[in-house]
Amino acid sequence: MNVTEAVRSRRSVRAFTGQPVPFETIRDLLEGARWAPSGCNFQPWEATVLTGEALAALQAKLLAAAPDDPLEYRFDAPNASPRHLARLQELGGQMYGAMAVGRGDADGRADFARQNARSFGAPVLLLAHFPKLMGPPQWSDVGMWLQTIMLLAREAGLDTCPQEYMGMYGRTIKAHLGLSDDALLFCGLALGYRDADAPVNQFERSRVALADQVTFAGFETVPA
């Protein structure tokens, strides 16, 4: 698989088979991702990786816990922008539509939300964290590191789901893992093998047109 194929085939997988992933495979992914770029070579990312009983214990804790109040950070600020909120709403319609969960199906939507705590059945969960003193540039570095892991996972025949959901339970997770409160629990990354038959993994994803996001200047030929 080349890089383009990895980028095009990567998606947030929300149903995994549960097939175990060998430790050596996970270690190799993380060894490769160490070469992700970071400003000033700070390499701010840190992580805890769980599987088996260790993962089950955390999932039980999350299912019994309430989200942080207040949250340590918010990921939903773009909801205040109509054009960005519309993209979220479009995705929600596609995803719930694929699962035949209607807008008024409160139980179905609540059950799906709980699947976040179980990382959608993935056998491995990476929890990304870093010192709170890191600023927005370092947050973007962590994003590039996570994207590197996701693309290397596709090369290895694996799939992932980045989970901002875990950031809503940051203090609960930090206490469970024994992390200092000086750390920020950024997100989770579910890792495993895709359930290819699950409808939630099959709906067509939309992307904004390139012309709506990028402006070109100085090139001799730019198509209209």
What's the DSSP call for residue 84? H
CA distances from 50 to 10, 173, 201 (A): 22, 12, 23
Residue-wise pLDDT for 107-128, tens only, equals 888 888 888 999 999 999 999 9
Residue-wise pLDDT for 175-197, tens only, equals 999 999 999 999 999 999 999 99
* Centroid of chain to Cα 142: 12
Share of the chain above pLDDT 90, in %: 79
pTM value is: 0.93
Residue 204 has φ and ψ, to the nearest 5°, of -75, 130
User: Distance between CA 3 and CA 154 in Å, rounded?
Assistant: 9
Vertex 136: Cα angle to 133 and 140 (nearest 5): 115
Question: Is the preceding peptide bond at 223 cis, omega within 30 degrees of 0?
Answer: no
Instruction: Select from 1.10.630.10, 3.40.109.10, 3.40.50.720, 1.10.287.610 the CATH code of 11-202.
Output: 3.40.109.10
What number of helices (H) and strands (E) belong to the chain?
A: 7, 4
Kindly list the domain boundaries of the chain, sorted by start residue.
11-202
Residue-wise pLDDT for 53-98, tens only, equals 999 999 999 999 999 999 999 989 999 999 999 988 888 888 888 8
User: Distance between CA 20 and CA 124 in Å, rounded?
Assistant: 8
User: Distance between CA 197 and CA 216 in Å, rounded?
Assistant: 41
Task: Reduce the secondary structure of 122-134 to three states and give it as a string.
Answer: CCEEEEEEEECCC
User: Distance between CA 146 and CA 10 in Å, rounded?
Assistant: 13
